[in-house]
Amino acid sequence: MHTGMMHAARPASTLWRILFVAMCCSPGACGAPARPVATAVLASGADLESANPLVTVHPMSRQVQRHALFVTLVRLDSSLQAVPYYARSWSWDTSKQTLTFVLRSGLSWHDGAPTTANDVQFTYQSLGEKALGAPRAADISAVSNIEVMNDTTVVFSFRSPQPTLPVVFAELALVPRHLLDTVPLPRWRSHAFSTKPVGNGPFKFAERVPGRRWRFVRNETFPVDMGGPPLLAQFVIAVVDEAATKFAGLVSGELDMAGIAPSMARLVANDSTLALETPPALFSTLMAFNTTRPPFDDVRVRHAISLSLDRQRVVDAAVAGFGTPAGGAIPPGVPVYEKYSVNADTTRADSWLDAAGWKRGANGFRAKAGVALHINLLTVGSGDMAAEQLLQADMRARGIQLDIRVRELATFLAQVRAEKKEFDAAYVGVPGDLALGHIVAMFQSAQRGGALDYTGFHSPALDAALASARGAASGESATRAWQSVDSILRVESPAAWIYHSRGVQGRSRKLHNVVMDLRGELTSIARWTRDDRAVAPSAARASARNQSAQPPRN
């Protein structure tokens, strides 16, 4: 989700005090705080949505949950093949409908309670409960039963043969039954567990200062056969939404890793103390149409908007080329991706609008029955709003008035997730997953009203195609099935996919053993180390000071 808002940049030295004065100094006992040894500091453009892995879609939240705070049943290696983690082994019966996991013993929750098969059962049963409205509920829809045989054995029964091990077992972190089983599902998002979690992973939750930081410390008792205690003593997620402050924090050494504005990529690449990381990312940016009311209840208008968009220009101008113009919903990098180009076609766009009754008037703008074709576009802001302004220009060229409405993240999510949708369109980033469960969560009828049901569009034909895709074997048959889904989405156009992102991260060269790939930026965080020796001042410091000293935009 784009979360950069336009604020006056916070000086990097102020950032440092915010991060560490609370943990380094007793009241009145120190001046400028020193960084604790073996501490990594990462920037997030927004506060973590929740620490509960069943209810969040925020990318950084999911990374922390999956790789640091909790454990998953299995993990994915660098070739995206499942390898043991909390599950020591797994096996299928001959029908491929019964899956047995044998779990490790000796793994404890951070409050000392043992992690057992009961937690596995509880996590996955809760995931499928409609009252929870979990974004990934569809990932468990094929499961008919989960049975605990003993503390270290759990059996999943499926309604039909499964072609492969479902990826959700590598991506969904487990939650503690003993802390959540008495909490009503509708209250999970607001429950204290979301902001003061008890995990069982290599790092423990230590503190949260709302809107400022989260801190996690090494779990000294994390089992050796699951990787052992992390090499870092702690890591901090700092909430930094200003692009200039992120860059200044990187070159000053106060931040070790931060997603940066693409326009600053060259500055990072030219700084000898920093490394520019551009990993593949399962993250798509789109214009989601509210198909439940005019004008976007008319597929002709949706087609016209999609054909009006110059996607390549958005990629080039708004994200400095760090993205792929989107021909559909499926992002590059997943095995079923096939390149499909959607070029702007303004002649066809005008024809669709004319056919829908939206005619140009003498003022150049379109109207029907005396009502102007006017769109309010919700957004949480993309830094300098370059992308939104480019979309606005594309619409104006077609005679459509588009106003940009910036909302704070929580307000934005509340509006686009509301059961009765009261917006026209939303510029939104959607974090994906390797199983493409995010597409199911957006459009499957069973997920109506869920966390990713931004458009309100559902159809029997799309439901059937999604079911076929999720049940397809890997390889060519899966590619064909998912391309059928993508084809329906292109025909119905409930959203206009604009681009699929690449990661743009600045990383301090003091931080080592960092692996970034489709599994995420934090996949190797338990093996990270930080060189705490002082280094010579960066040649980019002057540039960073100039960036952070810029006056706020009007």
DSSP, residue by residue, 403-467: EEEE--HHHHHHHHH-SS---SEEEEEEE--TT-HHHHHHH-GGGTTSTT--S----HHHHHHHH
Considering the domain architecture, whether residues 384 and 397 belong to the same structural domain is answered as: yes
Mean pLDDT over residues 216-243, rounded? 96
In the predicted structure, residue 306 carries a pLDDT above the cut 50 = yes
319-343 CB burial, b ≥16 within 10 A, e <16: bbebbbbbbbbbbbbbebbeeeebe
Rounded CA separation 318/386 (Å): 5
Task: Report the range of poorest mean pLDDT among 11-25, 137-151, 321-335.
Answer: 11-25
The conformation of residue 67, written as its DSSP 8-state character, comes to I
Considering the domain architecture, whether residues 346 and 410 belong to the same structural domain is answered as: yes
Would you state the torsion angle of the CA atoms of residues 342, 344, 347, 348, taken in this order, to the nearest 10 degrees? 30
Boundary-marking domain end, from 471, 487, 502: 502
Would residue 256 count as lying in a domain? yes
Look at the chain and count its residues: 554
In the predicted structure, residue 12 carries a pLDDT above the cut 80 = no
Give residue for tokens 């469960």.
Answer: 437
Rounded CA separation 241/48 (Å): 12
In the predicted structure, residue 435 carries a pLDDT above the cut 70 = yes
- Residue 473: which pLDDT band, with cuts at 50, 70 and 90? confident
Mean pLDDT over residues 56-64, rounded? 91
- Residue 57: which pLDDT band, with cuts at 50, 70 and 90? confident
Which residue type is seen at 458? H
In the predicted structure, residue 143 carries a pLDDT above the cut 50 = yes
| pLDDT score, position 138 | 85
| Contact in structure between 99 and 90 (CB atoms under 8 Å) | yes
Helix ranges restricted to H, 9-166:
12-24, 59-64, 117-127
User: Which has more confidence, 472 or 354?
Assistant: 354
User: Which whole-number Å values give the CA distances from 389 to 74, 118, 309, 323, 429, in the listed order?
Assistant: 43, 51, 12, 18, 16
User: Which has more confidence, 263 or 392?
Assistant: 392
User: Which whole-number Å values give the CA distances from 384 to 45, 241, 244, 260, 319, in the listed order?
Assistant: 14, 12, 11, 13, 11
Boundary-marking domain end, from 150, 180, 210: 180
Domain span including residue 167: 74-180
Considering the domain architecture, whether residues 410 and 532 belong to the same structural domain is answered as: no
In the predicted structure, residue 480 carries a pLDDT above the cut 60 = yes
Would residue 458 count as lying in a domain? yes
Tokens of 522: 């934090």
| Contact in structure between 486 and 329 (CB atoms under 8 Å) | yes
Tokens of 403: 């106003």
Report the share of the chain in percent with pLDDT over 90: 76
Considering the domain architecture, whether residues 448 and 437 belong to the same structural domain is answered as: yes
Mean pLDDT over residues 143-165, rounded? 96
Considering the domain architecture, whether residues 249 and 284 belong to the same structural domain is answered as: no
Mean pLDDT over residues 431-459, rounded? 92
In the predicted structure, residue 546 carries a pLDDT above the cut 70 = no
Would residue 1 count as lying in a domain? no
Give residue for tokens 């609008």.
Answer: 353
Would residue 553 count as lying in a domain? no
In the predicted structure, residue 547 carries a pLDDT above the cut 70 = no
Rounded CA separation 176/509 (Å): 37
| pLDDT score, position 33 | 63
In the predicted structure, residue 26 carries a pLDDT above the cut 70 = no
The conformation of residue 138, written as its DSSP 8-state character, comes to G
Tokens of 221: 């008792």
In the predicted structure, residue 551 carries a pLDDT above the cut 70 = no
| pLDDT score, position 15 | 60
| pLDDT score, position 4 | 35
Contacts of 500 by beta carbon, 8 Å cutoff, 6+ apart? 281, 283, 284, 285, 323, 324, 326, 331, 332
The count of domains in the chain is 3
Report the CATH number at residue 219.
Answer: 3.40.190.10
Which residue type is seen at 384? D
Average pLDDT over the chain reads 90
| pLDDT score, position 2 | 39
Give residue for tokens 């704070």.
Answer: 408
| pLDDT score, position 9 | 41
79-107 CB burial, b ≥16 within 10 A, e <16: eeebebbbbeebeeeeeebbbbbbbbeeb
Mean pLDDT over residues 93-101, rounded? 97
Considering the domain architecture, whether residues 317 and 456 belong to the same structural domain is answered as: yes
In the predicted structure, residue 227 carries a pLDDT above the cut 70 = yes
Contacts of 17 by beta carbon, 8 Å cutoff, 6+ apart? 32, 33
Boundary-marking domain end, from 467, 483, 502: 502
Rounded CA separation 165/428 (Å): 31
Considering the domain architecture, whether residues 368 and 452 belong to the same structural domain is answered as: yes
| Contact in structure between 218 and 226 (CB atoms under 8 Å) | no
Tokens of 225: 């056969």
- Residue 550: which pLDDT band, with cuts at 50, 70 and 90? very low
Considering the domain architecture, whether residues 396 and 298 belong to the same structural domain is answered as: yes
| pLDDT score, position 49 | 83
Would residue 129 count as lying in a domain? yes
The conformation of residue 525, written as its DSSP 8-state character, comes to G
Would residue 104 count as lying in a domain? yes
Considering the domain architecture, whether residues 236 and 363 belong to the same structural domain is answered as: no
Considering the domain architecture, whether residues 288 and 373 belong to the same structural domain is answered as: yes
Tokens of 106: 């000796």
Mean pLDDT over residues 239-267, rounded? 92
Report the CATH number at residue 368.
Answer: 3.10.105.10
Considering the domain architecture, whether residues 367 and 456 belong to the same structural domain is answered as: yes
- Residue 19: which pLDDT band, with cuts at 50, 70 and 90? low
Would residue 186 count as lying in a domain? no
Would residue 191 count as lying in a domain? no
Task: Report the range of poorest mean pLDDT among 23-32, 209-218, 269-278, 473-482.
Answer: 23-32
- Residue 549: which pLDDT band, with cuts at 50, 70 and 90? very low
Considering the domain architecture, whether residues 435 and 490 belong to the same structural domain is answered as: yes
| pLDDT score, position 18 | 54
Mean pLDDT over residues 526-546, rounded? 68
Rounded CA separation 378/388 (Å): 10
In the predicted structure, residue 111 carries a pLDDT above the cut 90 = yes
Type and span of the H or E element at 301: helix 299-308
Would you state the torsion angle of the CA atoms of residues 30, 32, 36, 39, taken in this order, to the nearest 10 degrees? 150
- Residue 382: which pLDDT band, with cuts at 50, 70 and 90? low
| Contact in structure between 160 and 166 (CB atoms under 8 Å) | no
| Contact in structure between 179 and 196 (CB atoms under 8 Å) | no
User: Which has more confidence, 224 or 449?
Assistant: 224
Task: Note every long-range contact of 342-347, with CB atoms under 8 Å and residues 24 or more positions apart, other chains counting.
Answer: 342/306, 342/307, 342/311, 342/490, 344/307, 344/308, 344/309, 344/310, 344/311, 344/394, 345/307, 346/307, 346/308, 346/397, 346/398
| pLDDT score, position 535 | 59
User: Which has more confidence, 406 or 340?
Assistant: 406
Report the CATH number at residue 151.
Answer: 3.90.76.10
Mean pLDDT over residues 219-230, rounded? 98
